[in-house]
């Protein structure tokens, strides 16, 4: 991603504060210090999950059908499973990790 973002002055994400404790302080406009200090826009930062789905329904926006099958947070295939009733929506990501959060193979540190 770092390589792709090099050519841009700004990028737009779908990050929301409600998604996790690591995202609960994101701002709608930030400077992305990990990506050459480009502007990072998070227009959905203060949206709730219910607001996202209401918008999808009202505007007939296509979405990944895995959501209907219990995959509430979708990553790569080996790192994602359906969420059981009552579980945190992100419980299906990195589900085998009990004590720590690890990224899937889509993310790595530069130079490795």
The Cβ of residue 29 has, within 10 Å, a number of other Cβ atoms equal to 11
Classify strands 29-32 and 10-12 as parallel, antiparallel or unpaired. Answer: unpaired
Residue tagged active-site, from 10, 76, 79, 104: 104
Confirm whether 106 is domain-assigned. Answer: no
Say whether both 69 and 54 belong to one domain: no
104: annotated active-site residue: yes
Residues 71 and 22 in one domain: no
pLDDT of residue 111: 47
Check if the beta carbon of residue 54 is closer than 8 Å to that of residue 46: no
> Using one digit for the tens of pLDDT, what is the confidence trace for 8-19?
999 999 999 998
Residue at which a domain ends, from 34, 60, 86: 60
- Pinpoint the alpha helices (H) of the chain: 2-5, 49-58
- As a whole number of angstroms, the distance between CA 61 and CA 63 comes to 6
Domain with 79 in it: 64-94
- Domain total of the chain: 2
Domain match, 85 and 50 both: no
Reported confidence tier of residue 73, pLDDT bands at 50, 70, 90: confident
Rounded-to-integer distance, Cα 90 and Cα 15, Å:
13
Q: Mark whether 13 and 52 lie in a shared domain.
A: yes
In-domain check, residue 99? no
């Amino acid at each position: 991603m770092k390589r792709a973002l090099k050519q841009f002055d700004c990028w737009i994400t779908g990050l929301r504060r409600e998604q996790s404790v690591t995202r609960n302080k994101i701002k709608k406009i930030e400077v992305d210090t990990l990506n050459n200090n480009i502007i990072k826009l998070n227009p959905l930062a203060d949206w709730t999950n219910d607001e996202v789905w209401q918008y999808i329904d009202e505007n007939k926006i296509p979405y990944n059908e895995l959501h209907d099958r219990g995959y509430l947070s979708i990553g790569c295939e080996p790192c994602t499973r359906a969420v059981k009733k009552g579980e945190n929506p992100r419980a299906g990501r990195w589900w085998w990790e009990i004590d720590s959060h690890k990224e899937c193979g889509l993310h790595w540190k530069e130079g490795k």
